[in-house]
């Protein structure tokens, strides 16, 4: 069976690998010159099966309103004249209650556990080297109320089989002594030994090389313009080269038995060209990668600082720090005042928590941090869309939001299984099954 996978992020590459393993003839198309150059490029590096709380919870709407004018807020909502943004926000609001929270956690944990197994199997099979650290993930709190609230979240997680536990300050410092420097401000933490961390870009690019070695064809530098259908079945994909030298080049029309859309946030506008409507909206986030100056004092346990909701992971001689969510459209200007403010916040925060451990100087101060921004493909529930759309032969693997790296291996495997007529071994509402009601036809653009 000939299958085209659109998008070479962690989700598309993992899908391509598992399809090839099942004997499909696979072509991957991406507008970039290599895999993992968009949202999978410089994320927080956490494989966090246990730190998977959906953004939508009882307190989220009030926090979003309170933070609307704070440039450094963990969750920043900037309203636009964009029907897709407002519709997404209303659907998000509908998820901000305890019943929905728990329902969503159950799905996310099921996918997380399945994905972790798939991830470990891939690493063992292929020996991919990506600064992997199997030291767990710790979450530390800086006020008593948040620490007490965390105990409730831990209870919910444990009900679904996640081995996350509450730890005292002292135990936290035994797990990761690096945080002792900030000890006076830390009220306590939670910890999951089974979580891990590693560089998503390295992993994805190496997996792409393994795909190529197994015969997967890659068409890089090709932007997908639109999809075509014939009746209610996918017919073809229109692509055009992005390079300037090829600007005069015409569109190419490519055909296959099946097409998988794995274009992250851009999946939603693309699908609208064939009348499929899914609520995926960009949740912008930022990261900074700092050179480590004092390796002995830098953390090896990946961590989340609850005060600013930022995550940090050791990647060899660098510390990757990432976080914040901005519902603020599609703009990708790191040098905007808002982009600068959010990146500088990451520098300042790490200097406060781990003084003198990294070179956190901003470029204006003579430093050389690698600042970056990416668009998380966010859904109102935090649950990705994996499965068959209502257009025959058109499949979707997108909407992984904050957890695409964590869920990458399993999402790719599950979709490849579904396309091949197998049943993935997890309790999950796949698109086209339980989640059929959550998307409706729209007039093709
Ligand atoms: C700041 C930040 C921190 C994060 N931290 C973590 C973390 O610690 N753990 C975790 O699990 N997840 C994390 N995530 C989330 C994770 O990075 C994403 O969920 C994941 O990368 C999404 O992968 P994807 O393959 O769906 O999208 P992408 O990686 O964006 O891949 C989509 C691909 O589609 C291509 N594409 C799009 N449109 C077109 C088109 N029209 N034509 C051709 N090609 C196209 C793009 O070039 C791109 O290569 C983080 C995200 C951010 C922003």
C-alpha 10 – ligand 1 centre gap (Å): 7
> What pLDDT does residue 445 have?
41
Is-contact 54 95, C-beta < 8 A?
A: yes
- At 432, the pLDDT band (50, 70, 90 cuts) reads confident
pLDDT category at 19 given cuts 50, 70, 90 is very high
Q: Is the CB of 406 under 6 A from ligand 1?
A: yes
Beta carbon of 223 within 6 Å of any ligand 1 atom: yes
Whether the CB of 12 sits within 6 Å of ligand 1: yes
> Average pLDDT in the 194-215 region?
98
Is the CB of residue 404 less than 8 Å from the CB of residue 393? no
Q: How much is the average pLDDT of 360-373?
A: 95
**366: Cβ–Cβ under 8 A, 6 or more apart, which residues?**
none
- Tell whether ligand 1 has an atom less than 6 A from the beta carbon of residue 374: yes
| Rounded distance between C-alpha atoms, residue 68 and residue 76, angstroms | 6
pLDDT > 60? residue 443: no
Q: What spacing in Å lies between the alpha carbon of 402 and ligand 1's midpoint? A: 9
Of residues 388 and 73, more confidently modeled: 388
Query: Is 180's pLDDT higher than 70?
Result: yes
Domains detected in the chain? 2-40+202-274+382-441 (3.50.50.60), 49-98+129-196+281-378 (3.30.9.10)
Is residue 197 in contact with ligand 1, taking CB distance under 6 Å? Answer: no
Phi then psi for residue 54, to 5 deg, are -65, 150
Q: How confident is the model at residue 187 (pLDDT cuts 50, 70, 90)?
A: very high
Q: If you measure from the C-alpha of residue 439 to the centroid of ligand 1, how many angstroms do you get, rounded to a whole number?
A: 22
Ligand 1 lined by 319 (C-beta under 6 Å)? no
Q: How many Å lie between the centroid of ligand 1 and the Cα of residue 317? A: 24
Q: Show the tokens assigned to 214.
A: 């197994």
Q: pTM of the predicted model, to two decimals? A: 0.96
Q: What is the pLDDT of residues 207-229, one digit of tens each?
A: 999 999 999 999 999 999 999 99
Measure the CA–CA gap between 238 and 248, rounded to whole angstroms: 15
Q: Cα 232 to the chain's mean position, in Å?
A: 31
Q: Ligand 1, closest atom to CA 263?
A: 34
């Amino acid at each position: 069976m000939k299958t085209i996978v659109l998008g070479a992020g962690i989700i598309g590459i993992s899908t391509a690998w598992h399809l090839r393993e099942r004997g499909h003839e696979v072509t991957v198309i991406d507008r970039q010159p290599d895999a993992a150059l968009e949202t999978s490029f410089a994320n927080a590096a956490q494989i966090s099966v246990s730190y998977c709380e959906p953004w939508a919870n009882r307190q989220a709407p009030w926090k979003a309103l309170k933070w609307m004018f704070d440039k450094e807020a963990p969750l920043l909502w900037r309203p636009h004249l964009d029907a897709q943004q407002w519709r997404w926000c209303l659907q998000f609001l509908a998820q901000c209650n305890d019943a929905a929270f728990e329902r969503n956690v159950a799905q996310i944990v099921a996918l997380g556990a399945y994905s972790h197994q798939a991830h470990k199997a891939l690493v063992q099979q292929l020996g991919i080297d990506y600064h992997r650290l199997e030291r767990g993930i710790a979450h530390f709190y800086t006020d008593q109320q948040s620490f007490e609230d965390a105990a409730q979240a831990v209870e919910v997680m444990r009900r679904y089989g996640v081995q996350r536990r509450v730890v005292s300050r002292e135990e936290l410092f035994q797990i990761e002594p690096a945080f002792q420097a900030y000890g006076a401000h830390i009220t306590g933490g939670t910890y999951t030994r089974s979580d891990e961390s590693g560089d998503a870009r390295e992993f994805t690019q190496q997996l792409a090389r393994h795909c190529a070695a197994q015969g997967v064809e890659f068409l890089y530098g090709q932007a997908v313009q639109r999809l075509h259908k014939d009746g209610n079945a996918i017919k073809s994909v229109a692509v055009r080269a992005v390079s300037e030298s090829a600007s005069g080049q015409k569109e190419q029309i490519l055909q296959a038995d099946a097409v998988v859309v794995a274009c992250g946030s851009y999946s939603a506008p693309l699908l609208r060209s064939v009348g499929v409507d899914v609520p995926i909206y960009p949740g912008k986030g930022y990261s900074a990668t700092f050179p480590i100056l004092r390796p002995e004092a830098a953390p090896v346990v990946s961590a989340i600082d609850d005060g600013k909701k930022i995550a940090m992971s050791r990647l060899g001689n660098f510390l990757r720090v990432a976080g914040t969510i901005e519902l603020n459209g599609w703009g990708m200007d790191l040098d905007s005042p808002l982009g600068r403010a959010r990146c500088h916040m990451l520098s300042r925060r790490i200097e406060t928590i781990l003084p003198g451990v990294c070179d956190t100087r901003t470029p204006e101060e003579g430093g050389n941090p690698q600042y970056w921004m990416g668009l998380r493909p966010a859904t109102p529930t935090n649950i990705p869309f994996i499965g068959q759309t209502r257009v025959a032969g058109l499949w979707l693997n997108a909407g992984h939001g904050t957890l695409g790296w964590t869920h990458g291996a399993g999402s790719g495997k599950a979709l490849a299984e579904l396309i091949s007529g197998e049943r993935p071994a997890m309790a999950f509402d796949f698109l086209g099954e339980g989640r059929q009601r959550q998307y409706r036809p729209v007039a093709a653009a």
